[in-house]
Amino acid sequence: MTVQTRPIELHFWTTPNGRKISILLEELGVPYELHMVHIGRGDQFKPEFLALSPNNRIPAILDPEGPDGKPISVFESGAILQYLGRKFGRFYPEDERARVEVDQWLHWQIGGFGPMLGQNHHFTVYAPGKAPYAEKRYQDETHRLYGVLDRRLADRDFVAGSYSIADMAIIGWASGWKRQTMDLADFPNVAQWLERMNARPGVQRGLAAGADLAETLDLAADEAARDILFNQRANRGS
């Protein structure tokens, strides 16, 4: 069993993607420290963060005890989940068939569930009434994706059978079902899965991570923060 003696740096903001990693670190019980990246102020464009995450997106980690004992940085939430799962041998099975099950649902979240729900947030929450076609398009796609998840959970407690990094990847996004204009009555299996997930102490701690450090970021009201996040080409000068 791998023992972590020095804390892993988690470069983080309190978003669904950031919380994927805080949940896993809490579930693993390994030492870590939060480095808050205030995305509404533009911290994600600072050179020291770009050295870790060239795509200027949170989260990123710096593990001082990487392969062969040498430090390693990892960006992109899915890659971080897989790296930590392999390193500590938990929540990411070694058996190839079981691992494929996890990988499928992890990539489903990364490629669809997260981006489509993010677009739903953008048009429904941050630009309501400005693009009715886009609002409906992303609300409809969100509903379809919740349906996929609900059918998957019809005969199992967790998306890949056993509790895994795939569930951790999904929970932060699925927790926003109200703002996504979804009705959990349409998705009873998802509702039960959310109850199971939210009952886990590690999930509770991971979802709460950084709450005492993060300043309130209200994109619906903060025009400057919206400009930083939504007009990055103009702000970066390229």
In CATH terms, 96-199 corresponds, of 1.10.3720.10, 1.20.1050.10, 1.10.260.40, 3.40.50.300, to 1.20.1050.10
- For residue 238, count other CB atoms closer than 10 A to its CB: 6
User: Which residues of the chain, if any, have pLDDT below 50?
Assistant: 234-235, 237-238
Whole-angstrom Cα distance, residue 90 to residue 167? 13
pTM: 0.91
pLDDT for the residue numbered 213:
76
Q: Quick one: pLDDT at residue 1?
A: 80
- The span from the CA of 225 to the CA of 217, in Å, is 8
Cβ neighbourhood burial of 36 (10 Å; 0-12, 13-18, 19+): middle
| Adjacency order of strands within the sheet including 8-12 | 32-36, 8-12, 60-63, 72-75
Domain ranges of the chain: 8-91+206-236, 96-199
Span 72-120, pLDDT tens digits: 999 999 999 999 999 999 999 999 999 999 999 999 999 999 999 999 9
CATH topology classification for 8-91+206-236: Glutaredoxin (3.40.30)
* CA 143 centroid distance within chain: 19
Please calculate the CA angle 59-95-25 and round it to the nearest 5 degrees: 25
